[in-house]
Amino acid sequence: MASIVVIDHPIILRIAALAVDKGASAYVVGGYVRDALMGRARSDVDITIVGDAVDFARQVANLFNSKAVVYERFGTAMVPIGDMHVEFVGTRREEYHANSRKPVVTMGTLDDDLRRRDFTVNAMAASLAPETLGHVVDLFGGQADLADGVLRTPLDPVITMSDDPLRMMRAARFAAQLGFRIDADTERAITDMADRIGIISQERITDEFLKILGAPLPSIGLKVLFQTGLLKHILPEVHALAGVDLVAVGNREYRHKDVFLHTLQVVDNVAKVSNNVWLRLATLMHDVAKPKTKRFVEGTGWTFHGHEDVGARWQEKIFRRMKLPMDHLDYVQRLVRLHQRPMMLVDEGVTDSAIRRLAVAAGEALDDLFVLCKADVTTKNPRLAERYTRNYDVVKAKVDAVAERDQLRSFQSPLRGEEIMSITGLPPSRTIGYIKWMIEEAILEGDIPNDVTAAKNYMLANVDQWVAQAETAHFQRRG
């Protein structure tokens, strides 16, 4: 007997009634049916119309006083209704004939629609006709695959993936989101044709990639990307983290840990405590320059000196290539650059100045930096893990205390450039920047408090000397 999904959403029911009025045959399809069968709620719905979907979408838009956004080329339309997005697609069949590069489009059937979808679990429809409301049409064993937790293509995977190679990444995404495994034939096809991802626009790739990072356990999807070879095309820097080097000295062998596997674990640790996808991205990137900076030093072992700075520098190029939103670049760079710093402040004797500098360098990313640092503790030794975590708590408490006392969260010199010019009468110049910097340094060093009067007095006492030095001074914030 066919399964039934409950269709009781008032908007969908009104659309169903309109379909009856207009004599159209309509089905809810794809993710909505999948999620309903899994007992997951969702707000977006796809509806397949046997026939002209665009015309029907316009009538739906009229009914709800909305406007249809029409994609003429694909014969699809989207109608926003309240906070719901309803997508309409027609069951058209496209056939290519010899001597013509243009497809011949005919009306097609529900079967034509379903067979061109990505995975069997996404290729089910539920009827919107009154007498069969919610009856599931499952032509490719989608329900069985749902029960088994398998992602399988309705057609030969090579055909399904060739139709839209982004589906190779969608397999990784659904594996991570739903915790499903990918059927062996499908995975083999993806592996064989991974380079076809090159024909997909960067925007679509990045969108899918961020969805993988946003999954409950991103490592599942990232592993699929790695194992199928997709990661090499999408993010070669992260692909290059995999592997272990081994050096033999005398009769001892020295190996470092597999940075890719370590990174996956840290990303999952972060994902358990934060949904912030930019924090997850920064975590994925935190050791990205380890392969570039690794050296074997006799007597010391493997070192990755400066990997945090190199990794932070790489971010701009990676952001540009992946077309990631540049307003998150600074945040990701800070976290990559600073991820080793809290560990260096564990010592009892650490100065307030070092603590202040960390607070200022991290700025708004300070709390997230500690989330990353704690997630980075992946030792299997529980006593060590507990000790490291406790150390971070101690450092965090110190940083919080100093940052709060000295109001360093969004640190700026208490005297701005304009004020420095009006007090000193100096024109705009490099000298003003130098004076501002000297004031900030004095605050960070703890020589003066973070307030206007102290800054003004300190400046007036030193300004002549600074003006003389400014020409040749080299000033750049330490940390």
Chain residues binding ligand CTP by CB under 6 A are 30-31, 44, 46, 117-118, 122-123, 164, 166-167, 170
Rg (CA), the chain: 29
Minimum CB separation of residue 267 from ligand CTP in Å reads 20
Minimum CB separation of residue 116 from ligand CTP in Å reads 7
Strands 136-137 and 45-50: unpaired
**Closer CB to ligand CTP, 30 or 90, in the complex:** 30
Q: Any alpha helices (H) in 235-340, and if so which ranges?
A: 236-239, 259-273, 277-285, 290-293, 307-322, 329-338
Cβ distance 449 to 406 under 8 Å? yes
Strands 181-182 and 150-151: parallel
Q: Please give the biggest Cα pair distance in the chain.
A: 91
**Closer CB to ligand CTP, 170 or 357, in the complex:** 170
Q: Count CB-CB contacts under 10 A for residue 408.
A: 23
**Closer CB to ligand CTP, 166 or 354, in the complex:** 166
**Closer CB to ligand CTP, 125 or 359, in the complex:** 125
Cα–Cα dist 86/320, whole Å: 33
The pair phi, psi for residue 93, each rounded to 5°, is -110, 130
**Closer CB to ligand CTP, 7 or 285, in the complex:** 7
Minimum CB separation of residue 42 from ligand CTP in Å reads 7
Minimum CB separation of residue 164 from ligand CTP in Å reads 4
Minimum CB separation of residue 35 from ligand CTP in Å reads 7
**Closer CB to ligand CTP, 214 or 291, in the complex:** 214
Cα–Cα dist 465/457, whole Å: 14
Cβ distance 408 to 450 under 8 Å? yes
**Closer CB to ligand CTP, 85 or 262, in the complex:** 85
Minimum CB separation of residue 170 from ligand CTP in Å reads 6
Does an H or E element contain 150, and which?
strand 150-151
Let me know if 174 is exposed, middle or buried by CB neighbors in 10 A (0-12, 13-18, 19+): buried
- Amino acid occupying residue 224: V
Give whole-number Cα distances, 471 to 196, 295, 429, 439, 465, in Å.
56, 40, 10, 17, 11
**Closer CB to ligand CTP, 174 or 370, in the complex:** 174
Cβ distance 42 to 29 under 8 Å? no
Minimum CB separation of residue 200 from ligand CTP in Å reads 10
Helix axis angle for 166-178 and 202-213, nearest 10°, is: 10
Nearest 5°: the CA angle 10, 13, 15 is 115
Minimum CB separation of residue 88 from ligand CTP in Å reads 12
Give the residue among 57, 89, 86, 95 at the shortest CA–CA distance from 75: 89
Residue 464 three-state SS: helix
Instruction: Say how many CA atoms lie within 13 Å of 222 toward its Cβ.
Output: 27
**Closer CB to ligand CTP, 187 or 208, in the complex:** 208
Give residue for tokens 């989101």.
177
**Closer CB to ligand CTP, 189 or 259, in the complex:** 189
Minimum CB separation of residue 204 from ligand CTP in Å reads 9
CA 425 to chain centre: 49
Minimum CB separation of residue 69 from ligand CTP in Å reads 15
Cβ distance 167 to 199 under 8 Å? no
* Residue closest to ligand CTP (Cβ): 31
**Closer CB to ligand CTP, 46 or 308, in the complex:** 46
Minimum CB separation of residue 123 from ligand CTP in Å reads 6
